[in-house]
Structure 1
């Protein structure tokens, strides 16, 4: 998406296409030469240094699959069009969907306080769960400090030596929250916006408190099963990615040698319900199409999910809105797309769809240091 969200080092890097038009969404039109522009944008990402790209688009003309570059630098194996990959913060849309389903069932409310469900958990250095609602967790207006910005956590998880030593460590959700609680809030609840992975660790904890089951179990029962998402999983402490899959690569900012490291294996509890999931492009398209098409939530809850708050951007950049784990942006041709992005070690992913869920695109870069994902989305939805 326009707002790159993930767990790799920082929470948000705003990278929107300058000059996008703030005009109503246009009717979908067939791409010239099929998806040639999308393929060219993928190839350009590889030329810029991304090891490999895999993606899939679905529209009224059918399904297109595209790949570029390598999935394994050691064996020179190309990326596969059925690759599974870590989707990082795209996990958040699944978690939010579960909570909205629970609200529709009358089991909780978006206006419940965090302390109502998790008494005493959000406290310390000015944090107060009695003044923060579930809605504010989901749209990142809570002000809760982002645990992935903690310097010690970053050195342990995102630094070269720390990652190589601790990549298989297990992190309990409560531990991640406690890291955040050692810092002051970013702002008073509801007064501003800042992307915080802590919000969605807490959201996953709320799911468990409401249902008695883990967020992973509820996602499997409510979304993965009914939609037959056979490539989608919540791995827990499992450190590998199920096949078929490519390798994932990283360049650590603190590495003086600027080497490329294979970071495929890691314990995803470092991301918890903020970014644990593994999926593929076909499953992500199916999920976002079903969500925006009204097949996962009642109309009232989907409307709540699409109520966005403005995301701070640089002067001259187009409007970006963040709902309840749904981001909205206008592309350069005026089309509106909804979805989410996600980053985690060695993996950058985007999954987006038109407002009616009928034209979808999901893709993944298997490197976390370069590549223009915005160009791929522009090429798919606004082909020249």
Structure 2
């Protein structure tokens, strides 16, 4: 009888493993989540403790550390410098050693932004903030429309089949509402959430933000970044983020890395939750979900709707500028320059192209950045100073 029970249990475990493997597409292996351990304001130990807490929370994933040597049980890829740490992280993602990585102070290209996940204080509900770092566009309304799609993608990958969407009442929110409703009427289904306030509507009030009325709250990235910090650390005075899942994965059309962001102020519980968040995304096939949703939005006329948001003279000027200036030959860009206004970012890149310096726009944790090769960094800074894109005292970031 005991043997029969053991056999039944073994068979049950096998079927569970098969079901999980069919869902994740990863037969016979756990999700492998990287965690970089340099750069925290609270030290390496805080991050390692987060990894240990995450390992205790669930056995469905394996944590691999990227950073200094340590005495833990975790496999560690030894790195002792932040820039090399991120290069190592990217290589491990590219060769499949890890499926996703949790890191901090990482610059995404324009078009990629992160979807954070918080516990709302009003009702303790989980809510996705779209978005919290990076930027999807230098045009505010266009970026918020794109942010909505990224929030939907992440919520679906985490198991919410038909996530409800609300648009926070900020500048441009009514234009965002019109664009999203047009996308919805064209065949891309969006489940608009009604505000908890008596006048309803899908434009959310501050009350909805606190209560977590929608599954996905849409706002511009800089506002989302502030909300993440407040939700994560309002009980600690701000210096230690103790609640939530971190700033989330960078999502972009065609972007194929699963990189989740922490703040340098993130504490042990947030680190642990971020690792679990990463594992949930891998289990939910985030890359496949993203491709499917972007394709569906395109089929519903998403690109035309976005173009219509950028008014005539501004768009025409951008198009004319793009025709006149050709990018220099591509270079590896690891040097970054901060202090540039988001509205001037693309013009700053073009100004460097005109001087023969290859540059790309990006968004770091502290705001917009222009990225150039290390060899041309000082020259690029000087050119941007002379063109008045940055202050005279600007330095590399």
TM-score range, shorter-chain basis? Answer: under 0.3
- TM (normalized to structure 1)? 0.26
Structure number with bigger Rg: 2
Q: How high is the TM-score relative to the length of structure 2?
A: 0.25
- The structure with higher relative contact order (CA 8 Å, sep 6+) is 1
Higher helix content, 1 or 2: 2
